[in-house]
Amino acid sequence: MESKKTMLSLAQAFHTKTISFLGAGSVVEAIIGGVLRNELVPASQIYITNRSDQERLQTLSNTFGVQIERDKKALIEKADILVLAIKPKDVAEACQSLRGLVRKDQLVISVIAGVSTDFLREWLGVECAIIRTMPNTSSAIGLSTTGMSRGRFADEEDLATAKHLFEAIGSVYALPEEELDIITGLSGSGPAYIYYMIEAMEKAGVEAGLKPEIARRLTVETVLGAAQMLLTTNAEPALLRKKITSPNGTTQAGIEVLDSFSFQEAVVSAVLRATERSRELGAQFN
Ligand SMILES: NC(=O)C1=CN([C@@H]2O[C@H](COP(=O)(O)OP(=O)(O)OC[C@H]3O[C@@H](n4cnc5c(N)ncnc54)[C@H](OP(=O)(O)O)[C@@H]3O)[C@@H](O)[C@H]2O)C=CC1
Ligand SMILES: O=C(O)[C@@H]1CCC=N1
């Protein structure tokens, strides 16, 4: 557990840092929102660039007051922390264009699915500190759950710096890098599985005769309440489920249908397949 004094000095040191974002998509928007909400650094110390979408950069700049820097060399020169937030398919091209520009004293943080810190370091061509992370889109409202791990040349201080950044958008778990693909399949992609389930529950409510807005509210509040119950009571989900399931009642009838469609196996397979896909995305570079 870090002492209050250590946390304060970390926050003070962080406050002087410049953060450059390579990529300006949805994840970056969420991170910048969290950084500014929590006043980690002022907007004048945040630089953004992308490949070509100038309108997008302007929108982010107008919304947050962050600085647009189209020149990659200048973007990197200014950075104490460089956040790589491009899609895996764009990594090779992007890293090639960064080769020779990143310095040893800079901290590189990647949010890219599947791509290892070793690979990034090879491509960047410098023995710099790299932290690999996997947040999720709930970061937009400060409720991401983020897994992160440090690469070969990153130390505890680098990890603490990255944690400080991502705690602005939710909770953070430091894990071995081998587990990052699992985090990607579970909590990185996870919100999509929940939305998929919500879509289905809502559809059922409407088909059965509810107004769409009522079906939406009931479904969403049910999901929120169930998640909050788990956090508040710390009870096992199976136990909470059993408490709802009266013998021969409605829940039993519903669960029997889910079982007949192998619901749990489907969800397990989905998470495992997404994990495997994360590994595939990384392996294509090896
Ligand atoms: N979306 C999600 O739920 C999550 C995504 N991630 C990871 O975060 C990363 C970004 O995802 P997301 O924000 O959704 O993606 P987006 O498609 O929204 O954004 C990607 C950004 O990368 C930019 N870009 C592409 N190539 C280059 C390049 N060569 N140089 C500079 N910028 C470039 C794009 O610019 P332009 O628009 O101009 O082409 C765009 O701004 C991905 O690797 C993804 O795996 C991690 C956790 C959750
Ligand atoms: O689908 C993807 O590849 C990204 C990674 C985690 C969430 N979205």
Show me where the domains of the chain are located.
Answer: 4-177, 190-282
Compute the average pLDDT of residues 144-164: 96
Q: How many residues does the chain have?
A: 286
93 pocket-lining for ligand 1 (C-beta < 6 Å):
yes
Please tell me if the domain spanning 4-177 has the same topology as the one spanning 190-282. no
Q: How far is CA 171 from CA 83, 141, 149, 174, 260, in A?
A: 18, 12, 14, 10, 36
DSSP string across 77-98: HH-SEEEE---GGGHHHHHHHH
Looking only at the bridges linking them, the beta strands covering 170-174 and 81-84 are unpaired
Cα(7) to ligand 2 centroid in Å equals 31
Q: Which atom of ligand 2 approaches the CA of 88 most closely?
A: 3
User: How does residue 5 score in pLDDT terms, banded at 50, 70 and 90?
Assistant: confident
70 pocket-lining for ligand 1 (C-beta < 6 Å):
no
> Quick one: tokens of 225?
């309440």
137 pocket-lining for ligand 1 (C-beta < 6 Å):
yes
In CATH terms, 4-177 corresponds, of 1.25.40.10, 3.40.50.720, 3.40.1350.10, 3.30.470.30, to: 3.40.50.720
Share of the chain above pLDDT 70, in %: 99
From the CA of 53, the nearest ligand is 1
Looking only at the bridges linking them, the beta strands covering 129-134 and 144-150 are antiparallel
CATH class of the domain at 190-282: mainly alpha
Continuous segment of H or E residues that includes residue 128? none
Q: Contact at 8 Å (CB) between 88 and 114?
A: yes
pLDDT tens-place string over residues 186-206? 999 999 999 999 999 999 999
Q: Contact at 8 Å (CB) between 281 and 113?
A: yes
pTM for this structure?
Answer: 0.94
Axis-axis angle for helices 190-207, 212-233 (nearest 10) = 130
Q: How far apart are CA 50 and CA 278, in angstroms?
A: 23
142 pocket-lining for ligand 1 (C-beta < 6 Å):
no
User: How does residue 70 score in pLDDT terms, banded at 50, 70 and 90?
Assistant: very high
Compute the average pLDDT of residues 28-52: 96
Which of 82, 87, 98, 138 most suits a substitution to test ligand 1, by most atoms within 8 Å of the C-beta? Answer: 87
From the CA of 32, the nearest ligand is 1
Give the residue numbers of the binding site for NADP(+).
Answer: 85-88
From the CA of 147, the nearest ligand is 1
Beta strands in 46-169 (DSSP E): 46-49, 67-68, 81-84, 107-110, 129-134, 144-150
